[in-house]
Chains A and B, each alone.
Chain A
């Protein structure tokens, strides 16, 4: 008994160490004074100030955020509409096919998605003259395309789990279909839409492959800049940037967790009363 629990405990530590030590090392090295990323040369914050002066990285970060915000928002809208169309419009011809097709982008290799979108943009330009140049707009469209599928799948599963008699009850009480969607359906699928938005935002912020294919000269997202810099050797500036991103994410997760805990406690208190 004792032996096996020691074994399990050490495996647990090993697993978490494997996950988090690289991140910790990266964070520690962001305060490295040396120019080389792999040799410790004393504590310093010089790479943070260097980062603030590096307009290339900052511009790329802003562009990435912009693309992520726009694409996540549009994808949530379109994905929700798709889910409603697949789940709440009764049975119609081709529904099963459409349901299957909406999930396809999830399993499609990114390289193929990226390449096919590039081909689409190029031939569109030849045929219609639009898009004049590839850049932020084409990346945004590409990100909307695949994020939409994720949103649709998440919202759809929420809709499928929802008691459909809620909507029928609203209709029975005099709500026209449009009003029922606004009054009942949307508030109830809002959590799924939020989850879809967050996932789309993360996917867009994270994406390198599709952005590389669909971008043109002049528009580089943060992952693209980092990746091109790494090819020339990692500079501690990137460590600093990574540390800042990790910091933001950690704060976000802690706040979200804390709010959820508080809500649960409130609910428990109300029920106990």
Chain B
């Protein structure tokens, strides 16, 4: 670590590249071992084990009351776990008080000290380390440059906008060069335009500093764009952990599938399953669905097949490709968005299927009209089997 750079570079440097979670020889940077937190008889966090690797931007995603904030507060040290251990960089910090942890947090409310100027806010952590005045001043200046606030150093928080306050909170949390930065709903209080900008800035910062980020959010879009990996949390447990595309394309269950965007779910019965390919028949319809990536299921089992709207192809003529599943229906409703169109197609079984299609061709007239008979098709690898 170079003391003068203001930017802490770790040996590995930069954000994590590749997929360390797939490599069993990699040492985890943060490790939760069967961590639980109970309030009375209610388990806010229920026996969670997790490994986060150096330089990751790990996102914990879930609705309100799922225990994600409790988990973050345990990492910061504000809540004592009822059971289990927390290790950071190989050191057990379960019993370490918050002021001795190599972890800093950016609060959802930003918690910028209202009676201190921007400068004093950012300097607070270094002052508590009893560093010499000159070094504090220099590091504060560098940090304010990094978050693009050098002109506002002497302002009081009530003279700042929401976005500026967020930068102050970020600078304050980063100045101690923590091993891990915790972010609680970092973008929730910003308006849409600022959110997008800040999102990319956060990613750039993380790239520059190489600090491991743990983000808690309820917003799936935020999670998708920021994260190296997402852990979806429900009722104190992780339902799925994976990269954004894994969670989106291969959701473990209906809850996760619905959480990340739209999905068409078909009730079906398994006809055959040979380990690689699963064949199922849709209820009230003779359409057969063939899909890969299926867990082995007995013929006759009831299941749900999910297909994302953008994976469906819509056409007026029957598609001829091999390996495609085809069903028929009538366009009931359509919405034109310019770059794409959204169709609601009623299948012969009466189910409404949503199709999102790119408008490849330039045409002032609609390619499909209401009440058109259409064929819907999708590649068998594009559908997933969901448990309820």
Binds A, one of B20-28, B97-105, B328-336: B97-105
A11 contacts chain B at the CB level, 8 A cutoff: no
- How many angstroms from the CA of A172 to the CA of B111 in the assembled complex? 11
B109 contacts chain A at the CB level, 8 A cutoff: yes
Binds A, one of B86-94, B121-129, B253-261, B349-357: B121-129
> Would you call the interface of chain A mostly helix, strand, loop, or mixed?
helix
B192 contacts chain A at the CB level, 8 A cutoff: no
Contact: B128 with A184, CB < 8 Å?
A: no
A176 contacts chain B at the CB level, 8 A cutoff: yes
A62 contacts chain B at the CB level, 8 A cutoff: no
B5 contacts chain A at the CB level, 8 A cutoff: no
B113 contacts chain A at the CB level, 8 A cutoff: yes
Contact: B115 with A187, CB < 8 Å?
A: yes
Contact: B111 with A173, CB < 8 Å?
A: no
Chain B residues in 8 Å Cβ range of A169: 105, 107, 111, 113, 169, 172
Given known A174-B125, A174-B128, A270-B159, contact A165–B98 (CB-CB < 8 A): no
Distance (Å) between the CB of B86 and the closest chain A CB?
15
Distance (Å) between the CB of A104 and the closest chain B CB?
30
How many B residues have CB within 8 A of the partner chain? Answer: 27
A271 contacts chain B at the CB level, 8 A cutoff: yes
Contact with B along A184-198 (1 / 0, CB 8 A): 100110000000000
Distance (Å) between the CB of A177 and the closest chain B CB?
8
Q: Which of A154-176 contact B (CB under 8 A)?
A: 163, 165-166, 168-176
Contact: A166 with B113, CB < 8 Å?
A: yes
Instruction: Choose among A169, A187, A270 the residue with the greatest number of B CB atoms under 10 Å from its CB.
Output: A169
Given known A171-B98, A172-B104, A173-B172, contact A165–B109 (CB-CB < 8 A): yes
- CB<8 Å pairs between A and B, sample of 20: A165-B108, A165-B111, A166-B113, A168-B111, A169-B107, A171-B98, A172-B77, A172-B99, A173-B99, A173-B125, A173-B176, A174-B99, A174-B125, A174-B128, A174-B176, A176-B99, A183-B124, A184-B113, A188-B114, A271-B159
- How many angstroms from the CA of A97 to the CA of B111 in the assembled complex? 31
- How many angstroms from the CA of A179 to the CA of B114 in the assembled complex? 17
B314 contacts chain A at the CB level, 8 A cutoff: no
Contact: B98 with A172, CB < 8 Å?
A: yes
Contact: A172 with B76, CB < 8 Å?
A: yes
Distance (Å) between the CB of A161 and the closest chain B CB?
13
B370 contacts chain A at the CB level, 8 A cutoff: no
Contact: B113 with A174, CB < 8 Å?
A: no
Extra 6 A-B pairs, beta carbons < 8 Å, given A168-B76, A169-B111: A173-B128, A173-B172, A173-B173, A174-B176, A176-B99, A271-B159
In the complex, the chain A residue whose C-beta lies closest to that of B105 is A172
Given known A179-B128, A270-B159, contact A170–B113 (CB-CB < 8 A): yes
Interface residues of A (CB under 8 A from B): 163, 165-166, 168-176, 179, 183-184, 187-188, 267, 270-271
Contact: B111 with A166, CB < 8 Å?
A: yes
Distance (Å) between the CB of A190 and the closest chain B CB?
9
Chain A residues in 8 Å Cβ range of B172: 169, 173
Distance (Å) between the CB of A188 and the closest chain B CB?
6
In the complex, the chain B residue whose C-beta lies closest to that of A169 is B111
Interface residues of B (CB under 8 A from A): 76-78, 97-100, 103-105, 107-109, 111, 113-115, 124-125, 128-129, 158-159, 169, 172-173, 176
Distance (Å) between the CB of B324 and the closest chain A CB?
53
Chain B residues in 8 Å Cβ range of A187: 115
- How many angstroms from the CA of A175 to the CA of B125 in the assembled complex? 8
Distance (Å) between the CB of A90 and the closest chain B CB?
11
Chain B residues in 8 Å Cβ range of A171: 78, 97-99
- How many angstroms from the CA of A165 to the CA of B112 in the assembled complex? 9
Instruction: Choose among B103, B105, B128 the residue with the greatest number of A CB atoms under 10 Å from its CB.
Output: B128
Distance (Å) between the CB of A185 and the closest chain B CB?
11
Chain A residues in 8 Å Cβ range of B124: 170, 173, 175, 183
- How many angstroms from the CA of A199 to the CA of B175 in the assembled complex? 42
Distance (Å) between the CB of A268 and the closest chain B CB?
11
Contact: A174 with B109, CB < 8 Å?
A: no
Contact: B78 with A168, CB < 8 Å?
A: yes
Contact: B107 with A168, CB < 8 Å?
A: yes
Distance (Å) between the CB of A266 and the closest chain B CB?
11
- How many angstroms from the CA of A165 to the CA of B111 in the assembled complex? 6
- How many angstroms from the CA of A183 to the CA of B99 in the assembled complex? 14
- How many angstroms from the CA of A174 to the CA of B101 in the assembled complex? 8
Chain B residues in 8 Å Cβ range of A270: 159
- How many angstroms from the CA of A184 to the CA of B121 in the assembled complex? 11
- How many angstroms from the CA of A223 to the CA of B363 in the assembled complex? 93
In the complex, the chain A residue whose C-beta lies closest to that of B172 is A173
Minimum-distance CB pairs A-B, first 3: A173-B125, A174-B128, A169-B111
In the complex, the chain B residue whose C-beta lies closest to that of A184 is B113
Chain B residues in 8 Å Cβ range of A170: 113, 124
Chain A residues in 8 Å Cβ range of B76: 168, 172
Chain B residues in 8 Å Cβ range of A173: 99, 104, 124-125, 128, 172-173, 176
